[in-house]
């Protein structure tokens, strides 16, 4: 996944670096990413409204992403 300048358009790539070309796959990936962004935004806003430290919330969100397990990895 390589973000472009505006970070809203991602060029999704396969493991060998070639771009994913199926429009339906790209649309699904972009929709999922938008949902994830919105959910992360909601988590951050809720935490800030409850008085949490912004850096800590961002660190926790980063940790969540880093610990996601690839179920297809052999």
Predicted confidence (pLDDT) per residue in 9-55, tens digit: 899 999 999 999 999 999 999 999 999 999 999 999 999 999 999 99
Contact 1, 19 (CB under 8 A): no
- For 28, the domain range is 2-66
For residue 71, being part of any structural domain is answered with no
Alpha-carbon span 38 to 40, nearest angstrom: 5
Hey, which residues does 63 pair with through a beta bridge?
none
Spatial distance between the Cα atoms of 58 and 63, rounded to a whole number of angstroms: 9
pTM > 0.75:
yes
Asked whether 62 and 54 are in contact (CB, 8 A), the reply is: no
Residue 60 lies in a domain: yes
In a domain, 74, yes or no: no
Domain-located, residue 72: no
The total domain count for the chain is 1
């Amino acid at each position: 996944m390589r973000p472009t300048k505006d970070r809203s358009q991602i060029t999704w790539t396969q493991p060998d670096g070639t771009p994913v070309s199926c429009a339906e796959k790209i649309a699904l990936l972009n929709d999922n990413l938008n949902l994830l962004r919105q959910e992360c935004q909601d988590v951050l806003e809720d935490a800030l409204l409850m008085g949490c430290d912004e850096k800590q919330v961002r660190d926790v969100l980063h940790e969540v992403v880093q610990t996601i397990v690839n179920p297809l990895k052999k």
